[in-house]
A = this chain, B = another copy of it.
Amino acid sequence: MADQAVVDLFGLIAYGELTAFERLATDARMAPTLADKIALAAMAAAEFAHFEAISRALVGRGVQPEVAMAPFIGPLTDFHALTAPADWLESLVKAYVGDSIAADFYRAIAHRLDDDARALVLDVLADTGHAAFVVDRVRAAIAANPVVAGRLALWARRLVGEALNQAQQVAVERDALTGLLVGVGDLKTVAAIFDGIMKAHSERMAALGLSA
């Protein structure tokens, strides 16, 4: 496995964590209560700690984090520009659904990394409390106003679509990263990875009370 693949994956995850930090911290302003604001800020701070861990690992491997992140700034910026949440509930669904799909994908391809790299990736992708918090808030909102469910389900579909668009572009441009995915070139394995990711996504949607 080429080193460039590790650098690419670390750079992608690092910039993903940095934008997740920014997004959660900014969305905290939309929080309806002080407790919600604090919960979102805590998640943001956890994402930043993860960013720092990946940055340190890149430096440890002799790579400037800024250099490793550079190829992924465009796609991630586009993704977030195209999926700016209009309100608090949309931001919660995005934080949970979007980050979880990305994390599942990173976890799947991390299996091909060296032990240290894999352990770090699994560590920084550990749930930062999104799941329970978001499920609780979204279910409560749907219980209070069932109409919300349709709108949020559409929103989640749009998130997945835009994420796939951007992922495709990254795949085309970053051979080393794509190499992690295709591995020995077995398309069945790749298909199984995507099946697994979409299945986990459907389960999360169900937990939120949304149709996938």
- Select the residue from A37, A48, A55, A65 with max chain B CB neighbours within 10 A: A48
By the criterion of a CB under 8 Å from any partner CB, how many residues of chain A are at the interface? 24
Cβ of A49 within 8 Å of any chain B Cβ, yes or no, is yes
Name the contact of A21 in the complex, choosing from B25, B35, B51, B55 (C-beta under 8 A). Answer: B25
Cβ of A45 within 8 Å of any chain B Cβ, yes or no, is yes
Query: Contacts A25-B25, A26-B25, A28-B22 given: A48-B44 contact, CB under 8 Å?
Result: yes
Are A22 and B29 in contact, with the CB atoms below 8 A? yes
Cβ of A73 within 8 Å of any chain B Cβ, yes or no, is yes
- 14 new A-B contacts, CB < 8 A, other than A22-B25, A44-B48, are A18-B38, A18-B41, A22-B37, A22-B41, A25-B44, A26-B26, A34-B69, A35-B66, A38-B55, A38-B65, A42-B52, A45-B45, A45-B48, A45-B49
Q: Can you sample 29 A-B contacts with CB below 8 Å? A: A18-B37, A18-B38, A18-B41, A21-B25, A21-B41, A21-B45, A22-B28, A22-B29, A22-B37, A22-B41, A25-B25, A25-B26, A25-B44, A26-B29, A34-B66, A34-B69, A34-B73, A35-B66, A38-B51, A38-B55, A38-B65, A41-B48, A41-B51, A42-B48, A42-B52, A44-B48, A45-B45, A45-B48, A45-B49
